[in-house]
Each structure stands twice: as structure tokens, then as C-alpha cells.
Structure 1
Amino acid sequence: MTVLVLTCEEDVTADAVVLQLRRRGVPVLRFDPAEFPGRVDLAVRVIPDGQVTGHLVTPGGRVALEEIRSVWVRRPGTPGAHVSAEQRAWITLECERALWGALRATGARWMNDPDALERSRHKLWQLATAARAGLRVPDTLVTTDPGEAARFQKTHADAGSGLVVKSVTGRHPQDPPLTLPTAAVPPDADFTGVAACATCLQQRVPKRTDLRLTVVGDRCFPAYVTPRTPTLDWRFLPADASTWVAGEVGGALRAAVRRYLQEAQLAYAAFDFAIDEQGDPWFLEANAGGQFLFAEIETGMPMTEAIAAWLAIRRE
């Protein structure tokens, strides 16, 4: 049975996992949904007894739908990318429903299910779910009300802590996408501008380090970063300005993370935690499509192998 990898053409992370799967002797078919229709063809039939048959034909080969064991949704494009602009919206909707519907109907295992992926992109949902799972989350306000923002800042100033501001989505939709950094809110901040757009303000956690906890099924891979200079957002450090090292996490954190994944219906996520001065973790984000290869390269933890092993399990 075949593993289906849905990602863009240039994706070195997917390259590494595909190589691991092939070393295991597992057939792999990789393509970008943006190539459908056009370079990718689909035929699917649902017969009256509920059986689903059909096939996908891509530049990399052909697979029967009933022979797909698992689907890795990595960095997929949007169907209909190559059709004329005046018809794109309709064709995209039709082709998305056809492709994703066919793959759902196969009964294959997902990393991660598209519906779960979409839900998990919402930062406020993440924070509430993390708190229910038993993770510590910073006090957070998303608002378009300047007065609420000012009162929120005063509350935390009185408590002796400051605020940070961050994007609600994490990425600005320009081409290529722009990632917006987490930034400190100055004590004399003017909040008038929040009326123009929903703004995310969050309690600042005095931290001594950051933890990137990558979870693949039941396997946890903790990596701690040691920046050479203090930073609010390690993503914007130069490559030579920090060091990632493998570490350990306690059983309580592992259990809470698993509860989060169970509610989120995710098989994979990259969790970001701020580790405070007492060594306690604060949940910041769980990225269901988060990068892991950079941490694997520096720490040697076998995350690529873990993903390949999960994808290679035959469906029931």
C-alpha cells in the first residue's frame, strides 16, 4: 500500500521523509494539489454498496484509491492554480471537494486531517484547548477596542509584568508570506491603532529558554534553544546565533500534550513553550504543520524516522 505525500515541489523536509519511507520499502506518491486539474487526474466511483474505487494519476505515478494507506498533508497548494482567473474560484471549490472528498472516502490514516488542520490554525482555540488539557497559558486578549487594550496593559503593569503583541494568524498573506515577530509592548503604548484590526496582546512570560516539543503520534522530541542574546522570538535569530539541544520533559507535560492532541484530533504538532525562570513551561502555540528538520539536524533526534514510521503503518 502507498503513502500519499501532499506538498509543494520544493520541500526538503518532505524529501527527507520520502527517503526514509523508500528505505523501508514503502511505496510513496508525492504531488501538489495545485497541479489538479491539469497535471494530476482523478477518477473516483462510489457504488451503491458504499465501496469506493478509483485512482489518482500524477507526474510521479498512479495509485488506486483503495491502495492508499496514509496521507501526509505537508505543504499542499490549492487545486485550480493553473486555470484561468475568471473560472478559478468555482473550479477550485469543485476540485477541492472532489480531491479531499475522495481521499477521505478511502479510510486512509491522516497526518493531519484537513478539518483538524483548519481548526488548529485558530490561536484562540489553541489557547483554550491547551488550558483544558492542563497546560499553563499566558493571559491573552484579542481586541479591536483601544480602551480594553489599555486596561489589559494596566492590569499586567500593576501585577509587575508587561505585554507582548503578536499576530493572530502568524503569517501575513503576501507572496512570499511574511512572518511577523512577537514584540514587546512599551509602557507608554498608544493603542488607538487596534481599532483598525484585531490585535493579540499577551502577558509576557519572563523566560530563561524556549522549548520546541515536536510530537509524532505517541513519540515526543524535546529541543531547547540557547540564544547567545536574549530574544522574544527565536524564529528571527540568525542561524549562528542560537544552539538547539535535545532534552527531557516531565510526565505531566507529556500527558497534557497528548490530551491536547486527542482533542485536536492531530497526529503531529510542533509545540512552542516558554520556560520561565522557575523552569515551568508556558504554552505559546501548537503548529500542526510546524517545521522540525532544523531541530533534528542540530540535535540528532530521529523525527524524520518517526514520521516515516507512523505513515508506514498499514491501515486497518
Structure 2
Amino acid sequence: MLVVTMIDDPTADLVIRELHGRDVPVVRLDSGDFPATLSVAATITPHGIEGTLTTPTRTADLSRIRSLYYRRPSGFAFPHLDEQNARFARTQARYGLGGVLASLPGCLYVNHPHRIGDAEFKPSGLTAAVTAGFQIPRTLVTSDPDAARAFIKANGPVIYKPLSTPLYRNGSGVSCTVEVREVVAADIDERISGTAHLFQRRVDKIADARVTVIGDQVFTVRIESGLLDWRTDYDQLTYTPVQPPPGLTSSLYRYLREFGLVFGAFDFAIDRDGRWWFLECNPSGQWAWLEPETGLPMVSAMADLLERKKTR
């Protein structure tokens, strides 16, 4: 079993502990450790890729990896090189080590890094959601201030949300992300033209739902908060395991098939009429914090999937 993630990943810690308890051999690595404390020697053969990945404490035989849990590895870094050489080295590492990790024969990926990349594009996710049968809020992606103002006037109330969530640090060095918030037409100025932005009609919601699909198992949790974005204050949240509404599960799997995923963390807004509105699916989303809050056996389900006891 191969687990690829950063050093500070409590979710991966829980899964690895469960696998160790089952006597499953696990090699954990962070691709960002390459080449300082991680090395690769891979040969392309008629049978696929053979060779080894070596960390300070483990060696993984590439031909014997049954499953790869790809979480949140850190990026490649070459601080000892000048900018031009560092750019070259990062590119070689990405296409070399990254290419090896993405090409293991017979391996179950949870999820495949290329499929994760495809699914992280919000316009692609919303389009796939419509195809899968979900309801989505009316959405605009634009760099045109006039188009943004017209959309807000026609569809208000409207929220702004980032198309991706790069890490920012405030003046005190504390990490933060761009806020999801309601906007009005008067908020829009020419700065909109500087890049792409996502605007979406605000759902008049009474609750949220996080639906986590792990292989053949679906874990549905209703989240009460009263917040526009429940992720801004976990102390205010109340969790209740619920059954998904009729037809939702089949749509979940249609969505995952569209991207070739076996895991997904789906977010929905539940309106006053009981309708579930698709907001997004994170192919590398967090989920383990829900187990102690709800008693749902999610860590065990992930270990089952990685052991290939159950796959869809």
C-alpha cells in the first residue's frame, strides 16, 4: 500500500493506523521530499513499471503496489537552485516521479492524480453535476464587470466564491483562504477584469449536507450551522447522519464515473422545500473529522477500499 501525502495529514494518519492494525504493509511518502530524502529507480518493461521508491525508513517495490492513496502531497522545491534551474528541476520531477506514481500497473488509485486534477476545475464539476442529474444554482464565470453586475441584478442574492483555494497568509503570518461571501452589483468594479471569477445564485438554505463516497459506501451527514459557509466556524456546527434523498446515490456514482473517481466529498445546500442543490465535489476532500462526531465507520471503509475488499 502506498500513501502519498504531506507530513501533516491527520486523515492519512488514521487510515494508516487502521491498515497497520490489519497487518497491511504501508509505505508513506511525500513527493515534495524528492530528491532530498526520497529517491526513485523505475524501469519501463513489457510488464509495466518495475523498480523502487525509497524513503529514509521504507522501500516500496513498484510492481507490488496494490493501492495508492493520493491525498495532499506538498509541491516540489529546489531552494538551493537559481530560478531557471529550479524551474527545470521541478518540471523534471513532476513528469518523472509524478509520471511513475501515475502509471503503476494494476494499482487501485484513491484517487488517480490526473483524475483529481480534472475534477478540481469547478466549471467541469458543475457541468458534470448537471449531466449526473443534480440541481445546481445558476452560475457565472466571468472577467467582465458588466456581465457580473447584470448577473447579480438578474439572480440576486448572489455569492462570490473562488474558483480554486490557494493558501494566503495574513499580516500575522496566519494561513487563510479567500472568503465565500454575498455580493451586490455595487461591489463590482474594473478589478474584476484582472482574472476569472465565479458568481452563483445563493441558495435559500436551511442546512447543508456533506456526502462522502468511499468506494461502495455512502456516508451522508446533515450539517446545521446558520452560516453562509459552514467551513468558516466548525465550533458552530451540529452533525446528524441521514439517509440521502431518493435518486441521489445514483447521481453520485454517475458523477464519479464521469471523472474516473472512487472517492468524493460532495457538498450540498438543502433549501426550505427540501431540495438538495449541488455545490461541489472535492476529489481530495477532508472527511475523517466526521467519524468522531457521528460514529460513522469511515476510516474502516477507506481501509476496506484500499485493501480492495470493496470496489465499485
**TM over 0.5, yes or no?**
yes
The DSSP-based 3-state class of the residue aligned with 2:71 is: strand
Question: Residue type of the partner of 2:213?
Answer: V
1:236 counterpart residue number: 232
1:143-163 CA deviation, whole Å, 9 max, x = no partner?
11111112112212xxxx411
1:78 counterpart residue number: 75
1:153 counterpart residue number: 152
Which moved further from structure 2: 52-61 or 271-280? Answer: 52-61
- Cα distance between partner residues in 2 of 1:184 and 1:52: 50
Q: RMSD value over aligned CA atoms?
A: 2.1
- Cα distance between partner residues in 1 of 2:39 and 2:8: 21
CA drift of 1:35 comes to: 0.9
Q: In structure 1, which of residues 1, 4, 10 is the aligned counterpart of residue 2 of structure 2?
A: 4
Contact (CA 8 Å) 1:130, 1:283: kept in 2 or not? yes
1:186-225 CA deviation, whole Å, 9 max, x = no partner?
3644444312232211111100000011111121111111
The DSSP-based 3-state class of the residue aligned with 2:289 is: helix
1:253 counterpart residue number: 248
Which moved further from structure 2: 185-194 or 248-257? Answer: 185-194
- Cα distance between partner residues in 2 of 1:103 and 1:166: 32
Question: Residue type of the partner of 1:234?
Answer: W
CA drift of 1:98 comes to: 1.8
CA drift of 1:249 comes to: 0.3
- Please show how residues 28-39 of structure 1 align to structure 2 within 5 Å: 28-39=26-37
Contact (CA 8 Å) 2:2, 2:27: kept in 1 or not? yes
2:271 counterpart residue number: 276
- Cα distance between partner residues in 2 of 1:119 and 1:177: 26
1:299 counterpart residue number: 294
The DSSP-based 3-state class of the residue aligned with 1:245 is: strand
Aligned length: 306
- Cα distance between partner residues in 1 of 2:43 and 2:148: 54
Distance 1:67 1:258, change over 3 A: same
The DSSP-based 3-state class of the residue aligned with 1:75 is: coil
Contact (CA 8 Å) 2:152, 2:184: kept in 1 or not? no
- Please show how residues 206-225 of structure 1 align to structure 2 within 5 Å: 206-225=204-223
2:103 counterpart residue number: 105
Q: In structure 2, which of residues 55, 58, 61 is the aligned counterpart of residue 58 of structure 1?
A: 55
CA drift of 1:182 comes to: 1.5
Contact (CA 8 Å) 1:34, 1:81: kept in 2 or not? no
Contact (CA 8 Å) 1:30, 1:60: kept in 2 or not? no
- Cα distance between partner residues in 1 of 2:288 and 2:79: 30
Percentage of pairs with the same residue: 33
- Cα distance between partner residues in 2 of 1:64 and 1:314: 22
The DSSP-based 3-state class of the residue aligned with 1:171 is: coil
Instruction: List alignment gaps of at least 5 residues for structure 1.
Output: none
